[in-house]
C-alpha cells in the first residue's frame, strides 16, 4: 500500500509512494492493453472535428466505445445533447471521482486545442481503472463535457449541482509542455449593445445619436483602464454591426468584451470598471445600452497543495519532466468552475514541441499518429495514478480535502 506521510510539519514536501503498488501496476498494464482502442477513437474524433455544441459524432462514438466496455451510458446528460455520463458497476463505493472528457474542436483549424487526444486519454484511463474500483473503494465516472471552447459545458453542470457529490475531478490538457498547475484566468464575456437614433449623416446629423461612436468611446475608455489594473488582467473585444451606410447615423452597435484575471474576486472588480466605461460612453454620446452575458463565466483553477504534490509524482513515475514555465498564462477553462466544487486537477502534457502555439494549425498536426498515441498513454497513466495514490491512502485523501476546504 501507499506509505503514509512522514511525520513532519511540512507534509507536502514529505510524500512517499511505493512504486511496486499492486493496484498501480495492474492499472498501468490495463492502459497498455487498451491503448489501441484509444488510438482508434482519437483518430476518428481528430478526423471528424465538430465545433462546440455540435459534437454529435464524437459523443456518440465515445458512448458506444464505453458501452462496449460494459459502462452504463446516459446520453443527453445535464440537458446537453452532446454530453454524457458513463458509470461502470454498481456505483456503490464510498467515494466518487469524475474523469472529465473534452472533445469539441475549433472553427477552421479542427482539434488544434488537442481535445481529441485529451478526451481519448480520459476514456482510456476510465477503461483501465474500471475493474479496480473495489481496490480504491471509489466509483470512477467518465463525464463527457462539451462546449469547452465557448459556453462551457462544465459550467452548466456546476450550476445543476452535478459535481456536488464528487470527491475529486481530473483531466489532462494537451500543450507544448508539462505542467501540474497551469496558470488559468477567470473569464467573463459580455456584449454591450448601444442604441442611438438614425438620421441622415449629411442633411440632419444633429437629429441623430451615433451608437457606433458610443461603442468606440467605450473601447477607448477600456484602453485607458489597462494601466490601472493588475498585470495579469486581459481585456479584449470586437465591435459588431457598426452601421449600414456612411450617410446614415448608426442607430445600433454592439461591443463584445472578454475580461480575464487570475482571481475571480478581482475579476468581478474589473468587470465593474468596464461597466463604468459603458455607462460613460452612453452618457457622453446620448445613447442607451444593454449588457448581456455572451458566454458563461469561467473561474480560475483553484490549486490544491497536497493533490498537486501527488500529481508531480505521477508525472515523474511515467518518465515526464515538468518542463513548462509555471508562471506562464495558459488561458481559461471551464474546469476552473469545477475546482470550486471539489478538488480538481487539470494538468498539461506535452503533445507538440516546445514553442508550438496551441490553437494553431501547427499544433493540430500533432493530434494524429505516433505523437498522439504516446501522449495518450502517458496522460491516461497520470490520471489513473493520481486517483489510485489518493484514494488508497486516507491520509492523502483527508489532506487533499482539508486543503480544498481551507482555500474556499
Cβ-proximal residues to 120 (8 Å cutoff; 6+ apart), any chain: 38, 39, 41, 42, 45, 376
Alpha helices by DSSP H, 181-226 = 211-225
**Rounded Cα gap, residues 20 and 14, in angstroms:** 19
**Rounded Cα gap, residues 73 and 91, in angstroms:** 13
- Print burial letters for 391-406: b (CB count within 10 Å at least 16), e (below 16): bbbeebbebbbebbee
- In this prediction, residue 12 carries a pLDDT of 41
At 258, which helix (H) or strand (E)?
Answer: strand 252-261
> What is the pTM (predicted TM-score) of this model?
0.87
Q: How far is CA 17 from the centre of its chain?
A: 29
Report which of 197, 209, 192 is spatially closest to residue 279, judged by C-alpha positions: 192
**Distances 90 to 72, 133, 167, 302 between C-alpha atoms, Å:** 10, 10, 18, 31
**Rounded Cα gap, residues 71 and 48, in angstroms:** 24
- Print burial letters for 237-272: b (CB count within 10 Å at least 16), e (below 16): bebebebeeeeebbbbbbbbbbbbbbbbebbeebbe
Phi-psi region of 175 (alpha: psi -120 to 50; beta: other; left: phi over 0): beta
**Rounded Cα gap, residues 406 and 163, in angstroms:** 19
Quick check: 66 and 73 in contact, CB under 8 A? yes
- In this prediction, residue 239 carries a pLDDT of 95
Quick check: 112 and 365 in contact, CB under 8 A? no
- In this prediction, residue 406 carries a pLDDT of 86
- In this prediction, residue 408 carries a pLDDT of 57
Write the burial class of residue 12 (CB in 10 Å: 0-12 exposed, 13-18 middle, 19+ buried): middle
At 63 the three-state DSSP class reads: helix
**Rounded Cα gap, residues 80 and 108, in angstroms:** 23
- Residue 282, number of CB atoms within 10 A of its CB: 21
**β-pair type (288-298, 168-175):** unpaired
In the block, residue with C-alpha cell 459588431: 240
Each residue's pLDDT expressed in tens, for the chain with a length of 408 residues: 334 333 333 444 445 544 448 999 999 999 999 999 999 999 999 999 999 999 999 999 999 999 999 999 999 999 999 999 999 999 999 999 999 999 999 999 999 999 999 999 999 999 999 999 999 999 999 999 999 999 899 999 999 999 999 999 999 999 999 999 999 999 999 999 999 999 999 999 999 999 999 999 999 999 999 999 999 999 999 999 998 899 999 999 999 999 999 999 999 999 999 999 999 999 999 999 999 999 899 999 999 999 999 999 999 999 999 999 999 989 899 999 999 999 999 999 999 999 999 999 999 999 999 999 999 999 999 999 999 999 999 999 999 999 999 865
Cα angle 155, 156, 158; round to 5: 60
Amino acid at each position: 500500500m501507499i506509505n503514509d506521510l512522514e511525520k513532519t510539519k511540512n507534509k507536502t514536501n514529505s510524500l512517499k509512494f511505493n512504486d511496486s503498488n499492486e493496484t498501480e501496476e495492474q492499472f498501468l498494464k490495463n492502459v497498455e492493453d487498451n491503448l489501441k482502442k484509444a488510438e482508434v477513437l482519437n483518430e476518428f474524433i481528430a478526423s471528424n472535428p465538430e465545433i462546440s455544441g455540435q459534437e454529435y459524432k464524437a459523443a456518440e462514438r465515445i458512448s458506444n466505445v464505453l458501452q462496449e466496455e460494459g459502462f452504463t451510458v446516459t446520453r443527453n446528460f445535464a440537458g446537453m445533447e452532446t454530453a454524457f455520463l458513463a458509470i461502470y458497476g454498481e456505483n456503490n463505493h464510498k467515494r466518487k471521482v469524475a474523469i472529465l472528457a473534452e472533445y469539441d474542436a475549433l472553427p477552421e483549424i479542427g482539434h488544434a486545442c488537442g481535445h481529441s487526444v485529451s478526451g481519448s486519454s480520459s476514456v482510456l484511463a476510465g477503461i483501465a481503472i474500471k475493474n479496480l474500483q473495489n481496490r480504491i473503494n471509489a466509483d470512477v465516472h467518465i463525464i463527457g463535457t462539451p462546449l469547452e471552447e465557448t459556453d462551457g459545458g462544465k459550467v452548466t453542470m456546476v450550476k445543476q449541482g452535478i459535481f456536488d457529490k464528487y470527491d475529486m475531478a481530473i483531466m489532462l490538457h494537451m500543450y507544448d509542455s508539462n505542467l501540474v498547475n497551469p496558470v488559468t484566468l477567470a473569464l467573463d464575456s459580455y456584449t454591450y449593445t448601444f442604441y442611438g437614433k438614425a438620421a441622415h449623416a449629411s442633411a440632419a446629423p444633429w437629429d441623430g445619436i451615433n451608437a457606433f461612436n458610443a461603442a468606440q468611446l467605450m473601447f477607448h475608455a477600456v484602453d485607458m483602464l489597462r494601466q490601472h489594473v493588475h498585470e495579469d488582467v486581459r481585456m479584449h473585444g470586437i465591435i459588431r454591426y457598426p452601421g449600414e451606410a456612411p450617410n446614415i447615423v448608426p442607430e445600433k452597435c454592439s461591443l463584445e468584451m472578454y475580461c480575464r484575471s487570475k482571481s475571480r474576486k478581482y475579476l468581478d472588480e474589473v468587470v465593474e470598471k468596464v461597466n463604468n466605461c459603458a455607462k460613460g460612453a452612453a452618457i457622453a454620446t446620448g445613447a442607451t445600452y444593454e449588457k448581456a452575458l455572451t458566454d458563461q463565466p469561467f473561474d480560475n483553477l483553484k490549486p490544491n497543495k497536497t493533490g498537486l504534490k501527488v500529481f508531480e509524482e505521477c508525472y515523474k513515475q511515467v518518465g515526464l519532466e515538468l518542463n513548462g514555465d509555471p508562471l506562464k498564462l495558459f488561458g481559461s477553462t471551464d474546469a476552473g468552475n469545477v475546482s470550486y466544487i471539489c478538488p480538481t486537477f487539470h494538468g498539461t502534457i506535452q503533445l507538440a514541441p516546445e514553442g508550438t502555439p496551441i490553437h494553431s494549425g501547427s499544433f493540430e498536426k500533432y493530434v494524429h499518429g505516433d505523437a498522439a498515441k504516446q501522449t495518450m498513454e502517458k496522460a491516461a497513466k497520470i490520471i489513473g495514478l493520481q486517483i489510485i495514490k489518493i484514494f488508497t491512502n486516507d491520509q492523502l485523501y483527508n489532506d487533499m480535502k482539508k486543503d480544498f476546504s481551507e482555500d474556499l
